[in-house]
Structure 1
């Protein structure tokens, strides 16, 4: 709305209409509710463009400098915004030449704006060199993302590297391994990125016809009406929201059609140039990589600034220039129709067939403390995949059955969990998760020696199975071999980085070996900072508060531990000795709930 107001000035109705179309654009509402980089990025972009529009209107360099500074900060979130750099030159040397009247003034403006836009990226590069020993410019995934959108198997949308698994974490590590295997040595992050940039450029050079077809497809995905998903299907999650299900919301196609016509009508206004340049250059940047609805959000916001212009133009011209009014309306209708052709053959909005999103919903139920509903949702996910004969669901089915075992154990359904684990091993006898599930069930039964054996089998098949390493450490703690447990956890942190379950197990280790409270609290704090619900950390905190005879804090932490680990044997033993039931502990809402100390 601010951008439209600065752009349109006294033509307030056009700005209001564009603002309302954006406010009721359901994909923008959906992504605004997600904790995603695109929300932060879009806010900075809108702020920067608003100031550039003001600079064009007021003919002042100060607003322009602050605006490009905000765009520079936005590059820390998404470096693709740096495609706007040529626009800085165009604005200073052509658009603003009426008020940047001397060569010196234009040179100062160009130098200052380029410097401000590049400064955050340069600062991050220096930080990467100092901290990581690798002068990565902002972030190291650029080459990988470029190759995803520029290879013979790319569909222009799916974020999967050829030859890797479909999961994000697995695909990322496997992509690094493929690059290192091809180069025959261990690579720095910048070298991995450079490798994939070369692979993508080789594809463009060696297969120009295939590349042209791929870019035509990406252009259709960019301009088409269909809301393409990335890792989450927005249509499925829209269906879970009773407000967004109401059919009163606008979408990309409507804003795109009206915005393009409005941009054309405003083409001679100096204030429109920053927005027009951004829309064109940012779209070009998207085409270089891959397309989905989330990445279109900044384009949606910019085009919404123009979307009210043709509506007002039609009403204003209807009585005096009816032909012009019809031409404007017809142009918007044609663009809307062409964009809507993209929905032919689009099935992303068939949420009843979205087994993957149902699996993700099950994970949310599990994390929110409702394992029974999670199990039900996992079953629905598997049934959906079977009923619709979904291709490529194998890896997701494995993850769903893995999570189902965890949920069943949390719900206290040991026998179904055991049957599910055995069924998993029958379906995929070579999968590392088979022995992992067996180890999980053995640990649930407090048979830690057996669980360690099963976890070792899982590690032989997948040396990066962090849950197996933490499970082995748990067995070592129970066996009072603390030095071995510490070494196992040190190796787990080397493989998996900073993780709440590792710190929670370290806290349990230090508690069992009788370390000082300060040392124990250090690991409790690290675990809860990464995951406020980490059960071992809460169990240890509850024990420390019990020793201090702080009953309220003890009950708070025991309650939190039982929410994530309702069959925690040590807590149950204490409750039996204290003649207090688990149900009463969880249900007593009168107990104060202090924050972790």
Structure 2
């Protein structure tokens, strides 16, 4: 048997090795997740939004409210199909995502083997199968792993040999669906079309190339047109996909933009029972206040997009500096958090701490692979262009680990090539080349590790326990809320909202002295937090410290004269002090603008 025949025989088992490894890892990860992980007990942030949305759809609200889609809609609709058949079954959704993750690992192997050989594909598939953030996102009700899966299907279809119109049409459809999970994918489409044309333009007549491109674009546009048609007919706002593109563009394009998700000034970043404040409800309020009228979702998006564009026009040097900051984040080994912090999650699972499949190790291997593959750039153009096009779509907005994920499988493929190249140089005893590659890797690993340590020193460890505590707080589960919020406070990164929520949790668990301290801490960080003045005044009222309570109500009313609860409660404080006229005046002022306010009505009734 020749060496090539032996290699072919062994490589026949590689997809099974990759798939089997992915299955085993996911089995143990989900077992530990469902038995040990707090995020399996409480949905927070985007996961809660998607779950609530899917439940509404499954209950019959298939067209949704009279609003434009506020987030990418495909994922909640897929969830709704499962819920409609099996009931509210989030664990089934997670199981399906894990199965798609296993299939994704095999697709990574297939793509890697197609471009660089079976062994490079094997290493790429194994790296992807054990990559911690992929495992974590598969365990959350988020569309991230679905976008990765669809992207890999599309890349497999478009990069195959002997493409027919069916291959290209299906590839376009898959990328169109993927765009409705991760809109940044749309930016990669022109690059993919160019790459496909470049790879086959010499062997394919021009008319056939145009026809194949038409099939691809037809498949791509179909789901986008359906989404836009729904927005136009239901919401009377002809938006092709979603309504949050403008605010996300502004978040990544203003003078103080850090490069990651950061709510603009005047906008609360958290998700509350009233909605996602950071990129949905808050931006609408700010835009409408600035323009002075109610706005459609597309108008809100345009308002923020124009503000971001103005930054580029007014300060191009500053805009370039912000973009370079985003490039650094995208190409770093740091998993940039967005509502979920991967580094906090690792404390709950040993599999998430698996040291090999970490980006600070994988990126240098990918760089080696990218350099080696560049010798046959024409053959691998699709992979390069996908990375460039998709990265451009992320860098235009802001960077996060979730948004970067569809680029990771291709980086894994180049990392697999890097690993196999090193092994091949050992086997062929090319010591000089091996030493050069090893030295380059050591330098890159050192640089990436230093960069990662610097990022981890600034890592927002408060984020996840804060989100967990807040989710329990809104569910009126106050004891676990207090415990998680106290954990968040221990990291020493708390802001006014954390201390306000901690004050709520303390008050609900009858720890009034601690609640007062928390509200005072919130006010020391944000002296204009009206609700903290009101709640602090309420505690002082029940402690019969009526003068102090009145002072806090006054501070609230200075900042917002329409805080009716503060004025009504101030009336009761005056009443308790025997100042009947002052109490009556306070309640009458409330009823002038809120005639049905129950506390003020009850107070006026007392004075008759």
The alignment's TM-score, normalised by the length of structure 1, stands at 0.65
Query: 1:19 maps to what in 2?
Result: 125
**Matches of 1:194 and 1:348, distance apart in 2:** 36
Query: 1:432 maps to what in 2?
Result: 531
Compared CA separation, residues 326 and 58, structure 1 to 2 (3 A): farther
1:271 positional shift:
5.5
**Matches of 1:116 and 1:309, distance apart in 2:** 32
Among 392, 400, 425, which residue is 1:317 paired with? 425
**Matches of 2:292 and 2:379, distance apart in 1:** 53
Among 176, 192, 209, which residue is 1:72 paired with? 176
Among 412, 421, 424, which residue is 1:304 paired with? 412
Compared CA separation, residues 357 and 47, structure 1 to 2 (3 A): same
Is 1:347 matched with 2:488?
no
**Matches of 1:70 and 1:280, distance apart in 2:** 19
Among 290, 303, 315, which residue is 1:207 paired with? 315
Query: 2:549 maps to what in 1?
Result: none
The answer as to whether partners of 1:257 and 1:332 remain within 8 angstroms in 2 is yes
User: Where does 1:414-433 land on structure 2 (aligned, <5 Å)?
Assistant: 415-416=510-511, 418-419=512-513, 428=523, 431-432=530-531
- Tell me the alpha carbon deviations over residues 238-281 of structure 1, each in whole angstroms, 9 at most, x when there is no partner: 11324434x54421222222223223333426663222211111
Query: 2:247 maps to what in 1?
Result: 144
The answer as to whether partners of 1:203 and 1:211 remain within 8 angstroms in 2 is yes
Query: 1:31 maps to what in 2?
Result: 137
State the secondary structure of the residue aligned to 2:352.
coil
User: Where does 1:557-596 land on structure 2 (aligned, <5 Å)?
Assistant: none
The answer as to whether partners of 2:112 and 2:118 remain within 8 angstroms in 1 is no
**Matches of 1:131 and 1:464, distance apart in 2:** 37
State the secondary structure of the residue aligned to 1:134.
coil
The answer as to whether partners of 2:108 and 2:125 remain within 8 angstroms in 1 is no
User: Where does 1:100-139 land on structure 2 (aligned, <5 Å)?
Assistant: 101-139=204-242
1:45 positional shift:
0.8
The answer as to whether partners of 2:195 and 2:382 remain within 8 angstroms in 1 is yes
Compared CA separation, residues 146 and 334, structure 1 to 2 (3 A): same
**Matches of 1:371 and 1:241, distance apart in 2:** 26
Query: 1:378 maps to what in 2?
Result: 485
- Tell me the alpha carbon deviations over residues 458-513 of structure 1, each in whole angstroms, 9 at most, x when there is no partner: 99856999xxxxxxxxxxxxxxxxxxxxxxxxxxxxxxxxxxxxxxxxxxxxxxxx
Among 383, 388, 400, which residue is 2:502 paired with? 400
Query: 1:226 maps to what in 2?
Result: 334
Compared CA separation, residues 273 and 244, structure 1 to 2 (3 A): same
**Matches of 2:429 and 2:410, distance apart in 1:** 30
1:231 positional shift:
1.8
Is 1:63 matched with 2:171?
no
1:424 positional shift:
5.8
Query: 1:558 maps to what in 2?
Result: none
1:162 positional shift:
2.6
Greater shift after overlay, 329-338 or 426-435? Answer: 426-435
Query: 2:392 maps to what in 1?
Result: 284
- Tell me the alpha carbon deviations over residues 283-315 of structure 1, each in whole angstroms, 9 at most, x when there is no partner: 111111111222221111121122211222222
Greater shift after overlay, 312-321 or 77-86? Answer: 312-321
Query: 1:164 maps to what in 2?
Result: 267
Compared CA separation, residues 68 and 263, structure 1 to 2 (3 A): farther
- Tell me the alpha carbon deviations over residues 325-362 of structure 1, each in whole angstroms, 9 at most, x when there is no partner: 333434444443443342253235878xx334333343
User: Where does 1:498-513 land on structure 2 (aligned, <5 Å)?
Assistant: none
1:440 positional shift:
12
The answer as to whether partners of 1:232 and 1:357 remain within 8 angstroms in 2 is yes
User: Where does 1:251-262 land on structure 2 (aligned, <5 Å)?
Assistant: 251-262=358-369
Query: 1:5 maps to what in 2?
Result: 110
Compared CA separation, residues 271 and 48, structure 1 to 2 (3 A): farther
Among 469, 474, 488, which residue is 1:362 paired with? 469
- Tell me the alpha carbon deviations over residues 82-107 of structure 1, each in whole angstroms, 9 at most, x when there is no partner: 112212431343211244x2221011
1:366 positional shift:
6.3
Query: 2:74 maps to what in 1?
Result: none
1:154 positional shift:
0.6
Query: 1:217 maps to what in 2?
Result: 325
State the secondary structure of the residue aligned to 2:277.
helix
State the secondary structure of the residue aligned to 2:530.
coil
The answer as to whether partners of 1:48 and 1:71 remain within 8 angstroms in 2 is yes
Aligned residues: 435
Compared CA separation, residues 8 and 425, structure 1 to 2 (3 A): closer
Greater shift after overlay, 266-275 or 172-181? Answer: 266-275
**Matches of 1:24 and 1:334, distance apart in 2:** 25
State the secondary structure of the residue aligned to 1:345.
helix
Unaligned runs of 5+ in 1: 409-414, 443-453, 466-597
Compared CA separation, residues 152 and 464, structure 1 to 2 (3 A): farther
State the secondary structure of the residue aligned to 1:346.
helix
Query: What value does the CA root-mean-square deviation take over the aligned residues?
Result: 3.4
Greater shift after overlay, 252-261 or 101-110? Answer: 252-261
User: Where does 1:487-506 land on structure 2 (aligned, <5 Å)?
Assistant: none
Compared CA separation, residues 31 and 103, structure 1 to 2 (3 A): same
1:216 positional shift:
1.4
The answer as to whether partners of 1:421 and 1:438 remain within 8 angstroms in 2 is no
Unaligned runs of 5+ in 2: 1-105, 542-552, 567-608
Is 1:86 matched with 2:190?
yes
The answer as to whether partners of 1:229 and 1:292 remain within 8 angstroms in 2 is yes
1:192 positional shift:
1.0
State the secondary structure of the residue aligned to 2:263.
coil
Greater shift after overlay, 131-140 or 168-177? Answer: 168-177
1:61 positional shift:
4.1
1:144 positional shift:
0.7
**Matches of 1:297 and 1:309, distance apart in 2:** 19
The answer as to whether partners of 2:227 and 2:240 remain within 8 angstroms in 1 is yes
Compared CA separation, residues 438 and 130, structure 1 to 2 (3 A): farther
1:52 positional shift:
1.8
Among 261, 266, 275, which residue is 2:383 paired with? 275
